[in-house]
Amino acid sequence: MNIKLVEKKVSDINADILIEFLTKDELSGHKEIKTLKSAGFKAEQDSTCFLYEKGVLLCGVDSKKGDDIRSAAACMIKILKSSNYKSAKVIALSKSSLAALVEGIVLGGYEFNEYKSEPKKVTLKSISIASNEPEFSAFETIFKEALIVANATCFTRDIVNRAPQEINPQTLSALAQKLADENSLECTILQEDALAKENMNAMLAVGRASIHGSALIHLAYKPKKPKKVVSLVGKGLTYDSGGLSLKPATSMVTMKMDKAGACAVLGMIKAVSELKLDIEVHAFIGAVENMVGGDAYKPDDVLVSRSKTTIEVRNTDAEGRLVLADVLDYAQDAVSADYIFDFATLTGACMIALGQYTTGLMGHSHKLKHDISRAGSDTGELISSLPFNKHLKKLLKSEIADISNTASKPYGGAITAGLFLDKFIRDENKKKWMHFDIAGSAYTETPWDCNVYGATGSGVRLMCGYLKSL
């Protein structure tokens, strides 16, 4: 489907359907108020009324702010895609809501149909966004950037949604190499021999029972005069069975999404390179498959990580933090970064604490938390900070090693997982690092806002917004 910004009045654009966003206050003055009253349309948020004979689709919004426009646009595009109309047009309401409108259309209209034998055909071919403002060039810049970020989010969704027999550590590495070739990024991939030389024993242990070799992927975007250097680290568990601490059958379904942190990092560096930001970005991914077999790592094993910190394994389903421990240590040696951000579907406890819509944010810098949270509110991604404290840290104590991979009590599980990662962040980098637990926000089986069934692409819009602010 083609989405375009047109420098015209909406009345001068030829299209089958006109889309209008209406608040409750605006409803009473609408020229079709009698028809709308008869239809029972009250302009409530995300409600719609299709006046077929007039060629108008009315969408209710609580306000003309970005969050409300994004959500309403996602509802609107679903209705248009199920119709037989070929084209639609809508007014660009304001610069502040234009990006949200584009995201609502692109992300709300996203479908993953690659495994359908007969994908549903969509008649809708184009949506024209009209802007007749004197500052059209500013609208054009916002439109182009929003389209890049939305498409990068869909790129992320596509990888997460792919089945585990298709995406394993090696095919994920090939996909990263393809992205590097297409976007002129540097790409380094460390296979298991190289990982062994780097003493990445925690990461290697997690993938030991898989027939697919583990890999560390490092992509780099390097503009000529970067203002900042940022390292993005992604958990890439292409499938997580739980290992010998086997997940229940119902919990194992959807575990293809355990690679969502890695996929988000790929989407971020794709968007940054296409936005041509003056920020040097490094993406580090630990690509591993956690399976069951005679060679599987076991509860009671003691692993020696790359940093030489010893780890007592109490649960093989707490595997993502073991992978990230080595990748974070490697990333700190590979790049001297101004900021280090890791993204991981790390704990179900984060979803229990914050719900399925919100990303958990953890770290030591209150200023960095504030800046990232502000970017989140501007991009429509929900974030909430979870506080570290010394009492929860004590729960990771091991009697036989430096640290345990799970806490001794089942409370504050998202925070104790973050505190485990904190063990592998060096003192000089503590204030530069933030951990994003996207376990709840990365995947949904119930559509909400601009998110359809499956992967959401959580983190991509957030981080693009933050990096643009730098």
Nearest to 343 by CA among 270, 272, 260, 230: 260
Among 70, 235, 321, 461, the one annotated catalytic: 321
- Say whether 144 is catalytic: no
Q: Catalytic residue among 78, 247, 393, 426, which?
A: 247
Nearest to 92 by CA among 138, 151, 32, 30: 138
- Roughly what angle, to the nearest 10 degrees, separates helices 95-108 and 66-81? 40
Of the candidates 326, 336, 341, the residue with the CA atom closest to the CA atom of residue 428: 336
Based on the residue annotation, tell me whether 247 is a catalytic residue of this protein: yes
**Site of tokens 């559509």:** 447
- Catalytic positions are 247, 321
